């Protein structure tokens, strides 16, 4: 894959302005780290006429790559021409479909900004765990389903107390990921979950 296409894909996937992304790479000429949108970019050194960059998001490694000086000296942003490539069109279409469909059967690993309603079919007993930051947390997996399929939803802390078996929940801004080969949903920092209240029956 051409370098410009790879960087364009990262800018779209992580919602980073491609011009700011390119300018960040140009500005990193010595060992330091800067923030660009939701990403952190760190200069890691040089090999010949190439600069080495490490990119992370919320402490997780996104990728490490080399960028030739000639690429950084381009008069016009060499990332922009690839924003309309097939790979990015497929990715954005897949992401948009997740939001538009609102059904579990249409979800694929890597989709973000997922919004859907589903019924809680099962929920594990909450367990105490320690995060990678050494903090204590409570976690439980719930199995949720709609007419198109089922998926596990990872619940943390207060979320484990508001959801019960049999509830219909409305989920916003979730993302689909794979854990031990199994597709799951995670809410993350911007995700929300609410329990839909049954309408009162009046006579």
Q: What is the per-residue pLDDT for 141?
A: 92
* Pair 19, 68 in one domain: yes
Q: Is pLDDT above 90 for 93?
A: no
| Distance from C-alpha of 34 to C-alpha of 123, rounded to nearest angstrom | 41
Where is the domain boundary, 19, 51, 84? Answer: 84
The Cβ of residue 186 has, within 10 Å, a number of other Cβ atoms equal to 16
195 Cβ contact list (under 8 Å, min separation 6): 162, 163, 164, 167, 168, 169, 170
> Helices 3-13 and 86-101: crossing angle, nearest 10°?
20
Instruction: Work out how many domains the chain is built from and give that number.
Output: 2
- Backbone torsions φ then ψ of 37, nearest 5 degrees: 65, -130
CATH at 162:
2.40.50.140
For the chain, give the mean pLDDT. Answer: 87
Q: What is the per-residue pLDDT for 21?
A: 94
| Distance from C-alpha of 111 to C-alpha of 87, rounded to nearest angstrom | 14
pTM of the shown model:
0.50
Where is the domain boundary, 84, 112, 136? Answer: 84
Tokens 């990332």 correspond to 79
Q: Give a yes or no: residue 201 inside a domain.
A: no
Least confident of 136-145, 153-162, 192-201: 192-201
Q: Give a yes or no: residue 202 inside a domain.
A: no
* Pair 51, 107 in one domain: no
Where is the domain boundary, 53, 84, 115? Answer: 84
Q: Is pLDDT above 70 for 10?
A: yes
Query: Which structural domain, as residue segments, surrounds residue 49?
Result: 3-84
């Amino acid at each position: 894959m051409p370098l410009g296409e790879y960087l364009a894909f990262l800018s779209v996937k992580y919602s980073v302005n491609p011009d700011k992304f390119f300018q960040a790479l140009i500005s990193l000429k010595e060992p330091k780290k800067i923030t660009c949108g939701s990403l952190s970019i760190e200069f890691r050194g040089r090999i010949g006429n190439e600069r080495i960059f490490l990119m992370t998001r919320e402490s997780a490694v996104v990728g490490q790559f080399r960028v030739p000086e000639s690429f950084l000296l381009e008069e016009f942003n060499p990332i922009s021409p690839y924003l309309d490539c097939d790979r990015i069109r497929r990715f954005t279409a897949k992401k948009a479909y997740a939001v538009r469909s609102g059904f579990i059967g249409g979800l694929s690993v890597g989709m973000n900004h997922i919004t859907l309603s589903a019924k809680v079919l099962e929920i594990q007993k909450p367990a105490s765990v320690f995060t990678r930051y050494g903090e204590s947390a409570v976690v439980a997996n719930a199995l949720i389903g709609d007419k198109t399929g089922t998926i596990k939803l990872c619940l943390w802390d207060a979320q484990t107390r508001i959801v019960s078996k049999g509830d219909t929940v409305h989920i916003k801004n979730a993302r689909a990921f794979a854990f031990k080969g199994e597709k799951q949903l995670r809410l993350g920092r911007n995700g929300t979950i609410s329990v839909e209240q049954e309408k009162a029956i009046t006579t």
